[in-house]
Amino acid sequence: MTVETLGVVLAGGLARRMGGGDKPLRLLAGRPLLAHVLERLGPQVQGLVLNANGDPARFATWGLPVVADSIPDYAGPLAGVLAALDWMAAERPGVAWLVSAAGDCPLLPLDLVARLHQARAAAGTPMACAASEGQTHPPVGLWPVALRDDLRAALLAGERRIDRWTGRHGCASADWPAQPHDPFFNANAPEDLALAEEILARGGAAPHIPAATNPGKNAR
């Protein structure tokens, strides 16, 4: 049974190691990093939004809602999660779950959402995050809308650590193997893009989704 879940791609970082600018718009194998992320996450959820600050028009290609942080001064991934939860509460009030992924993770597993839900249910916790060979990846996680007010209060009080906040409520972990490649590999620097291209060339790519079934069509 599929649990209705929306997805947010966190694209609001400062990309300092990439030289600034919009890291998800950097090209990987001839297409933006973001396109790879959406192709992998889109079929697993019932709608997608982007979290990004600044002019949303730069993401118009994908036809997705773009939500900015409501917490000032680039408060990190938790602020992006909160922005998406607030959007859901207003626009999709019947959906209780959000899954987040970073905009620089082009190799996401195609069973990400299902396994995060399985881990959460098995552990009896309200949240779950991804891991590969025991290394957790807190920005890739499953979040309940029910905790958005608590998250807002924590951020306004200065909390920025994902694992510290999730630890207060309980967070399960779903673990994937890191071979032949880590599914949560993230492209932080230009040399990482070259490595990701090598991985894709060896067969790590998701099937291409034609424009007619672009994940953005299901966002609303």
Report pLDDT digits (tens) over 27-42.
988 899 999 999 999 9
Mean pLDDT across 74-102: 96
pTM of the model: 0.87
Strands 135-144, 127-132: pairing is: antiparallel
pLDDT band, very low/low/confident/very high, at 207 (cuts 50, 70, 90): very low
**Vertex 104, ends 150 and 102: CA angle to 5°?**
15
pLDDT at 191: 76
Instruction: Give 97's strand partners.
Output: 5, 144
For residues 26 and 34, what is the distance between their CA atoms, to the nearest angstrom? 8
Segment among 22-31, 50-59, 156-165 with least mean pLDDT: 22-31
Alpha-carbon distances, residue 188 vs 21, 67, 104, 149 (angstroms): 12, 22, 7, 31
Asked if the model's pLDDT at residue 63 lies above 50, the reply is yes
pLDDT at 197: 82
The CATH architecture that domain 5-210 belongs to is Alpha-Beta Complex (3.90)
